[in-house]
């Protein structure tokens, strides 16, 4: 089965850090661009970050640039999102997904993980 299994997330205080991970199986991870998308409670979808299949280039939404870092380990079929200097407005369910501009879609998606930033 093609699958993305997420881990990490939880409750963190403003200014704190958190690391999300996404483990891929059932497809050739090293051939796929990967993405992070978030959804604040009761709100729509917001693209967060992308990384190329080789990991040599990354893109970020303006709202997270300079605070979040996307990375991947193709030997372990794993995608990561390091989130620093977290703000209350970063509270959301975070999804990883495979795909991007070349694929013209995001598929599959991880199950999502909740990040809550609160004091």
47, 52, 69, 84: which one binds other proteins (CB under 8 A): 47
53, 68, 86, 100: which one binds other proteins (CB under 8 A): 100
Nearest to 48 by CA among 7, 3, 83, 88: 83
**Inter-residue contact 47 to 37 (CB < 8 Å):** yes
- The whole-angstrom separation of Cα 5 and Cα 90 is 21
Burial of 62 (0-12, 13-18, 19+ CB in 10 A): exposed
12, 50, 51, 70: which one binds other proteins (CB under 8 A): 50
Candidate ranges 10-18, 20-28, 46-54, 76-84; the one touching other proteins (CB under 8 A): 46-54
Please report whether residue 105 would count as binding other proteins according to CB under 8 A.
yes
The residue count for binding other proteins (CB under 8 A) is 24
């Amino acid at each position: 089965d093609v699958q993305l299994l997420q881990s990490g997330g939880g409750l963190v205080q403003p200014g704190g850090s958190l690391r999300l991970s996404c483990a891929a199986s059932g497809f050739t991870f090293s051939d796929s661009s990967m993405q992070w998308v978030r959804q604040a409670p009761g709100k729509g979808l917001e693209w967060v970050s992308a990384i190329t299949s080789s990991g040599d280039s990354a893109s970020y939404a303006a709202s997270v640039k300079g605070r979040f870092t996307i990375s991947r380990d193709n030997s372990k079929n794993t995608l990561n999102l390091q989130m620093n200097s977290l703000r209350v407005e970063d509270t959301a369910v975070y999804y990883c997904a495979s795909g991007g501009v070349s694929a013209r879609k995001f598929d599959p998606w991880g199950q999502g993980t909740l990040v809550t930033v609160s004091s």
